[in-house]
Amino acid sequence: MTLDTLDRRILDLYQRDTRVPSERIGAAVGLSAAAVQRRLKRLREAGVIVAETAQLDCRALGLGVTAIVHVDLIDESARAAHAFRDRLVARSEVQQCYGVAGSIDYVLVVIVPDLAAYDAFCADCLLHDANVRSFTTHVVLDAAKRGGGLAVPQA
């Protein structure tokens, strides 16, 4: 799918706040509300818009601990790595999961109520896994930016 400049400008506005009316977006980009909606629909169907979600305040929900976890695997073959990944992605505590190049194999963002829950998560998913060589935990002290929008290239 090809995105024109209008699509990009719409996305740039829309991604930050999905509640802004199409009419306002249209006014900003020089299009009618109907045209904006047509494009948003197309962008959803094409998978450019992956999801429309709400970002919640972890603290208010009693999710007091965020940890960034580095995992080093023993067997890094595709089969073994995918098995590991699929198990982690299925866990609700794992908010993000990235397979990376370099000295480590996976980076996770884990969000849990407290350290006891984090401990339980590690026991379940990491300590218990024969393919995990080692892992390192970095407890987040200051979540300065949790899910900023993307820098939509206007080119």
Partner DNA sequence: AATGAAATTTATGCCGG
Partner DNA sequence: CCGGCATAAATTTCATT
- 61 contacts a second copy (rule: CB under 8 A): yes
- Candidate segments 13-21, 25-33, 125-133, binder of a second copy by CB under 8 A: 13-21
Sole binder of DNA in the list 11, 31, 88, 108 (CB under 7 A): 31
Which region among 30-38, 51-59, 77-85, 129-137 touches DNA (by CB under 7 A)? 30-38
Alpha-carbon gap, residue 149 to 27, rounded angstroms: 21
- Residue 1: DSSP 8-state: -
Residue 22 interacts with DNA (CB under 7 A)?
Answer: yes
84-102: burial string, b at 16+ Cβ within 10 Å, e else: bbeebeeeebbbebeeeee
Q: Which of 53, 61, 66 is nearest to 93 (CA)?
A: 66
CA dist list (Å): 39 to 3, 17, 97: 10, 16, 30
Cβ-based nearer residue to a second copy, 25 or 31: 25
Amino acid found at 98: Y
When binding is defined by CB under 7 A, the residue of 11, 39, 65, 132 that contacts DNA is 39
Site for a second copy in 116-135 (CB under 8 A): none
Interface contacts to DNA, rule CB under 7 A: 6, 21-23, 26, 30-35, 37-41
